[in-house]
Amino acid sequence: MKSLKKSIIGISLIGLFLLTLGSQLVAGETEEISVSENLGAITVSTEYLTVKIIPTQAHLMWWYGNKTDADEIYKLQLVKIREFVGADEVLDDQTELGGLSYNLITGAWVSDIVEGDDEVTITLSLEGLANGADVYLIMHIYTLDVPVEGTDQVTDALTEVKFDIIVDNWDFSPAAQGIAIQTYLTEIQHRHRVRVRNGTVAENGNTTRTMQFESEDLGDKVVAYAEWTNFANVYNDTDDLVETIVVGTTYFEDPGTPPTDVPGFAEGLGHLWITYPNYGDDYKMVHDPTIGINEDAFTNNLGLYLGTILGGLTLVSIIAIVIVRRRK
C-alpha cells in the first residue's frame, strides 16, 4: 500500500512538473537576444528563432526555437551578383547573363556584431570588388516590431530577421541592363517533406514578394518564409534619395553554382534571381529582404502534443486514486 501511494505521489508530481513546463513552452515570452561565435559561424537566438550565419559564404540558416539543432532547417544562400544584358530591364533567362560577375560564396567577407538595447545588428562586408563596388549585408533582429519603410509591413520582433542588401558604387558595363543576385532557398534536413513555393497574392501584399516553406510533418502549414520588397531605394554619396526602382524576380537553373559540395545543394533545383535595373554609376542601392518563422505553426502543434501527454498522465493518476480508495 505504501509503495502504491508513493507511486501515485510520484505520478502527480510528474504531472504538475509537465503542466508547468507546458505552460512555459506554449506561453513563455522573453525579449532577450543572445549572440555567440563558434567555428566560423555567428549564432543569434531568441525564444522563438535561431539563426546561424556563415559569414565567409554569405548564407544563413534558421529554425524554430532557441536550440542548437532542429528537425527542419531553412536556408538562404546568396550565390552570385551578376550583370545582365538583353533588350530590356527584365532578366528572361540564362542567355542574358553577361558583363561583370562576382561569386558571393567565395568572397572575402568581413563580419561585425553590434548589440544594442533593442536589437542586434550583424554586418557582412565585401569591399573592393574589381569595378570598385562594395556589397554589404546588414542583418537586424529586433526586440520590438519595427515598420518596414515604404510598406504597410513590420519586422516582427524575435521571429524575423530583416537584412539590408546594399550595393555601393557599382559601375555598370556599357551594355548592362541591370544586376541580378542569384539566391538559393531550400530546407536542408528533410527536403522531400518541405515544399518551397511562391507566396499567394494574399501572402505577398502590395509591396512585397515571398517564398513560403510548407511542412508535411506539420500538416502542410507554412512554417517559414523569405520575403522581400518589390522596390529598392537608390541614394547618392550624401545619402539623399535619388530614385526608387522596381525589383524583379525570375527563376531558372544554373547547374554550375553553387558547387555540389555546398551543404543543402541538389543539382537541378531552380534558383531565385532578384533583379535590379541599371540605376546609374556610383550610387548606393538598398533593398530590404526578411526571413522568419511562423510561430503559430509550431506552438499549435506543440500544444496538442503537450495536451496529449498531460491528458494521459491525468487519466493515469485518476485510475490510481480510484484503485487506492477501493483497496481501503
Question: What does 270-325 look like in DSSP terms, one character per residue?
Answer: -EEEEEEE---TT-EEEE-EEEEE-HHHHHHHHHHHHHHHHHHHHHHHHHHHHHHH
Specify the pLDDT at position 253.
Answer: 64
Q: Label residue 299 by pLDDT band (50, 70, 90).
A: confident
Please say if the pLDDT value at position 7 is more than 80: no
Q: Label residue 320 by pLDDT band (50, 70, 90).
A: low
Instruction: Render pLDDT for 251-277 as a digit per residue (tens, 0 to 9).
Output: 876 544 444 444 443 433 457 899 999
How do the domains of the chain map onto residue ranges? 2-23+302-327, 46-293
Which residue from 167, 213, 234 is spatially nearest to 71, judged by alpha carbons? 213
Number of C-beta neighbours around residue 160 at 10 A: 25
> pTM score, two decimals?
0.79
Strands (DSSP E) found in 105-193: 110-115, 119-126, 134-142, 146-147, 154-155, 160-168, 178-187
Instruction: Render pLDDT for 68-87 as a digit per residue (tens, 0 to 9).
Output: 989 999 999 999 999 999 99
Specify the pLDDT at position 9.
Answer: 47
Radius of gyration of the chain (CA): 24
Instruction: Render pLDDT for 39-73 as a digit per residue (tens, 0 to 9).
Output: 999 999 999 999 999 999 888 999 999 999 899 99
Distances (CA, A) of 313 to 224, 266, 318: 33, 45, 9
Specify the pLDDT at position 62.
Answer: 97
CATH 2.70.98 applies to domain 46-293: yes
How many whole angstroms separate alpha carbon 42 and alpha carbon 312? Answer: 41
Is 2 exposed, middle or buried, given 0-12, 13-18 or 19+ CB atoms closer than 10 A?
exposed
Number of C-beta neighbours around residue 52 at 10 A: 20
Please say if the pLDDT value at position 138 is more than 60: yes
Specify the pLDDT at position 245.
Answer: 98
Is 47 exposed, middle or buried, given 0-12, 13-18 or 19+ CB atoms closer than 10 A?
middle
Instruction: Render pLDDT for 99-108 as a digit per residue (tens, 0 to 9).
Output: 999 999 999 9
**Burial 280-306, CB ≥16 within 10 A → b, else e:** eeebbbbbbbbbbbbbebbeebeeeeb
Specify the pLDDT at position 205.
Answer: 85
How many whole angstroms separate alpha carbon 67 and alpha carbon 302? Answer: 15
Please say if the pLDDT value at position 228 is more than 90: yes
Distances (CA, A) of 40 to 139, 140, 268: 17, 19, 29
Q: Are 210 and 199 in contact (CB under 8 A)?
A: yes
Instruction: Render pLDDT for 145-195 as a digit per residue (tens, 0 to 9).
Output: 999 999 988 999 999 999 999 999 999 999 999 999 999 888 998 878 888
Is the dihedral angle over the CA atoms 252, 256, 257, 258 positive or is it negative? positive
Mean pLDDT of the chain: 83
Specify the pLDDT at position 177.
Answer: 98
